[in-house]
């Protein structure tokens, strides 16, 4: 990790960061971002699945 100075402020080099909800990495790849979004989508579908089960039990076709 490199620390440099810019206008008398210490700047720290990081390997990744979150910016407006997106994960940015030092090497410019989006692998971490894709994994995060897949995990979020999986969790959302699991919640919807439970909801669909409840609704289908209340309103049989």
| Closest to 17 measured CA to CA, from 5, 3, 32 | 32
Neighbours of 2 (CB within 10 A): 6
Q: Quick check: pTM over 0.85?
A: no
**Quick one: DSSP state of residue 1?**
-
Is residue 33 packed enough to be buried (19+ CB in 10 Å), middle (13-18) or exposed (0-12)?
middle
Encoding tokens for residue 22?
């997106």
pLDDT value at position 38? 95
Per-residue pLDDT of the chain (61 residues; tens, 9 = 90+): 556 666 777 878 888 888 887 888 888 888 888 888 899 999 999 999 988 888 888 887 6
């Amino acid at each position: 990790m490199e620390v440099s100075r810019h206008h008398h402020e210490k700047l720290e080099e990081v390997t990744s960061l979150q910016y407006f909800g997106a994960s940015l990495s030092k090497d410019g790849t989006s692998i971490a971002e894709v994994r995060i979004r897949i995990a979020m989508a999986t969790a959302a579908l699991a919640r919807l699945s439970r909801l669909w089960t409840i609704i289908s039990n209340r309103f049989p076709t």
